[in-house]
């Protein structure tokens, strides 16, 4: 299959997603039943991002041109081991494999087993030849290269098991924000999206903020309180209540607004419904603090620019583009050079 055909098929998929037919809605409902983090709001957000940011003809053509992808190239089998949060998080890897002209062997995440297969089904119904390019497997073998994502425990296993093969192993990284107290109400409100979209379960979500020693948390708490409907989701509410009780019992100082708890903690990873913060005295100390965490930082949300980090605007932590890769690892370049 030629590159122009693959772009045509992906553009078709984007249009079908935008149509939002009953079958797709039914798969979303079933996914929500199996994984209560996959609310319709969250799966709609993921699907909308895919359709508008990935599956537009002109964007796909520009992406292919960036890598000088040929019309035809030797086909190889690429294994993809997916993780589960946020919904459809593995789609970009899948898209990259297909765009590069290779076949994808997919090991689905246990909590996201229905959305990806349905998108493949949509493509296959419109273009039967697509079926040759995708297969869902329970055991990963017979591949020429591997792209694997997972938690810290599984990453160690992947690094050992796949060390003899061309590979990309993506460990968990975290999003941070740096505030200086001069942020507008709109900035802080948009930062709420970076906390709350996908319940904070995306590796791009903001799990920690850095603030000056004299920082006033009230404007932040007030601006992000507009997202308080998030506690209507039972699973999130249960986590909020548990953490609230835990901090009370342990006499942990906290700041809260009814939908998130903010506690002082050096760790980048925070519990669901909890945001960590760390204070800095000056720019020099701030740079020392974030440099220590560089290896585990996905990006920085701020009005300021930080060298040697991926910089992101407020509210765009989970906004993706075709040439923006998780952990900054260029998947397309890897696939092109296999």
| Residue 115 pLDDT greater than 90, yes or no | yes
Judge whether 152 and 68 are in contact, CB under 8 Å.
no
- HSE-up of 291 (CA within 13 Å, CB side)? 7
Alpha carbon distances (Å) from 181 to 92, 220, 279, 304: 35, 10, 12, 12
Q: What's residue 192's pLDDT?
A: 97
Q: What's residue 194's pLDDT?
A: 97
At 155, the pLDDT band (50, 70, 90 cuts) reads confident
Alpha carbon distances (Å) from 186 to 175, 189, 257: 20, 5, 18
Model pLDDT for residues 11-44, shown as the tens digit of each residue: 999 999 999 899 999 999 999 999 999 999 999 9
Q: Per the structure block, which two tokens stand in for 326?
A: 């998780």
The CATH fold assigned to 174-312 is: Aldehyde Dehydrogenase; Chain A, domain 2 (3.40.309)
Q: Domain-by-domain residue ranges, the chain?
A: 3-172, 174-312
CA nearest to 12, candidates 129, 106, 181? 129
Q: What's residue 84's pLDDT?
A: 83
At 73, the pLDDT band (50, 70, 90 cuts) reads confident
Tell me the whole-structure pTM to 2 decimals: 0.93
The tokens 């591949």 sit on which residue? 143
Measured between alpha carbons, how far is 109 from 136 in angstroms, rounded to an integer? 11
Q: What's residue 150's pLDDT?
A: 81
Model pLDDT for residues 220-257, shown as the tens digit of each residue: 999 999 999 999 999 999 999 999 999 999 999 999 99
The CATH fold assigned to 3-172 is: Aldehyde Dehydrogenase; Chain A, domain 1 (3.40.605)
Q: Per the structure block, which two tokens stand in for 306?
A: 């930080």
Sorted by sequence, the CB contacts under 8 Å of residue 3 that are 6+ apart come out as 64, 69, 70, 71, 72, 99, 101
At 151, the pLDDT band (50, 70, 90 cuts) reads confident
Judge whether 256 and 262 are in contact, CB under 8 Å.
yes
At 153, the pLDDT band (50, 70, 90 cuts) reads confident
Q: Phi and psi at residue 37, in whole multiples of 5°?
A: -70, -20
Model pLDDT for residues 197-210, shown as the tens digit of each residue: 999 999 999 999 99
Q: What's residue 177's pLDDT?
A: 98
| Residue 152 pLDDT greater than 80, yes or no | no
In the chain, what percentage of residues exceed pLDDT 90? 89
């Amino acid at each position: 299959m030629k590159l122009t055909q693959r772009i045509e098929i992906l553009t078709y998929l984007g249009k079908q997603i935008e149509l939002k037919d009953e079958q797709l809605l039914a798969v979303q409902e079933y996914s929500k039943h199996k994984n209560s983090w996959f609310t319709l709001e969250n799966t709609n957000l993921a699907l909308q991002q895919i359709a508008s940011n990935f599956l537009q003809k002109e964007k796909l053509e520009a992406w292919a041109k960036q890598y000088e992808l040929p019309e035809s190239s030797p086909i190889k089998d690429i294994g993809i081991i997916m993780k589960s949060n946020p919904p459809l998080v593995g789609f970009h890897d899948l898209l990259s494999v297909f765009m590069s002209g290779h076949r994808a062997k997919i090991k689905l995440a246990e909590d996201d087993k229905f959305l990806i297969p349905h998108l493949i089904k949509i493509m296959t119904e419109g273009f039967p030849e697509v079926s040759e390019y995708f297969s869902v497997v329970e055991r990963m073998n017979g591949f020429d290269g591997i792209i694997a994502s997972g938690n810290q425990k599984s990453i160690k296993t992947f690094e050992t098991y796949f060390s003899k093969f061309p590979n990309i192993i993506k460990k968990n990284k975290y999003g941070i924000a740096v505030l200086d107290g001069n942020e507008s109400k709109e900035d802080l409100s948009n930062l709420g999206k970076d906390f709350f979209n996908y319940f904070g379960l995306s590796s791009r979500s903001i799990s920690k903020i850095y603030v000056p020693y004299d920082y006033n948390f009230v404007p932040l708490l007030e601006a992000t309180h507009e997202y308080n409907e998030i506690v209507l989701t039972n699973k999130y509410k249960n986590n909020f209540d548990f953490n609230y009780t835990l901090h009370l019992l342990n006499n942990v100082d906290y700041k809260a607004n009814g939908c998130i708890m903010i506690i002082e903690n050096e760790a980048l990873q925070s519990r669901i419904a909890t945001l960590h913060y760390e204070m800095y005295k000056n720019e020099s100390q701030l740079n020392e603090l974030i440099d220590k965490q560089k290896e585990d930082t996905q990006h920085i949300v701020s009005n300021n620019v930080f060298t040697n980090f991926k910089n992101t605007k407020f509210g765009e932590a989970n906004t993706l583009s075709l040439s923006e890769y998780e952990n900054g690892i260029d998947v397309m370049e890897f696939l092109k050079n296999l």
